Amino acid sequence: MLAFDFDQSELHQIAAEFDASEKDLRAAYSRALRRTAQTMKTRSRKGLRTKLHLRTAAELRRRLAGFRFARNSGMGSVRMWFGLNDMRVSAFKGRAVKTATGASFAGHVVEGGFIGKNAKGRPTVKHRAGSRTYPIKEARMPIDDEAETYIEDEVFDDIEEVFFHYFRAEVRARTIYGVGKK
């Protein structure tokens, strides 16, 4: 969970620049948070897909659906959540290879694993869930370290810049052009 605090004085300074009311300020803040959250979600999905060498972004889209932002009392605090649990082997680019001790996929070795087909008919690495013949499950690869490093260093590096860009645009639209007024 990542938490961000935005400078209250800078928010009020932008509001004073455009002579915005408290109602306009709160509405612009809320809309800027939503737009910032969507931008960060899109940037992280695109970047993680290439960084983790995934076949499609569908697997990440499901994990970022839990992407949330929340305001504490007042304005200025944002929390975001990412699902960084292990991912199915078939979500990654690569080829399943049989080894002497099991199977490997994209450099990730699964001891006691074997090559089988997934639901789409693609070869993947599977393993037995217990000591018996069944159940058989698809192997999973860890992503948390690599993904967390990428998200913190690359994606959220300029979150304040993105937020204040959207906030300034929203305050400007609400005060000069009357957006949101009846």
Q: Tell me: do 22 and 58 sit in the same domain.
A: yes
Per-residue pLDDT tens over the stretch 60-119: 888 876 555 665 556 656 677 788 899 999 999 999 999 999 999 988 999 999 999 988
**Does residue 181 fall inside a structural domain?**
no
- Asked if residue 25 has pLDDT above 70, the reply is yes
Same domain, 55 and 100: no
For residue 107, the enclosing domain spans 88-141
pLDDT of residue 172: 95
pLDDT over 80 at 181, yes or no: no
The beta strands (E) that lie in 15-122 are given as 77-80, 87-88, 96-98, 102-105, 108-111, 114-117
Domain shared by 30 and 71, yes or no: yes
Same-domain check for residues 9 and 47 = yes
| 92 lies in the same domain as 77 | no
Same domain, 62 and 93: no
Nearest in space to 94 (alpha carbons), one of 133, 55, 142, 62 = 55
In this predicted structure, the answer to whether residue 141 has a pLDDT above a threshold of 90 is yes
Do 95 and 164 fall into the same domain? no
Same domain flag for 73 and 151: yes
Q: CA–CA separation, 59 vs 80, rounded Å?
A: 18
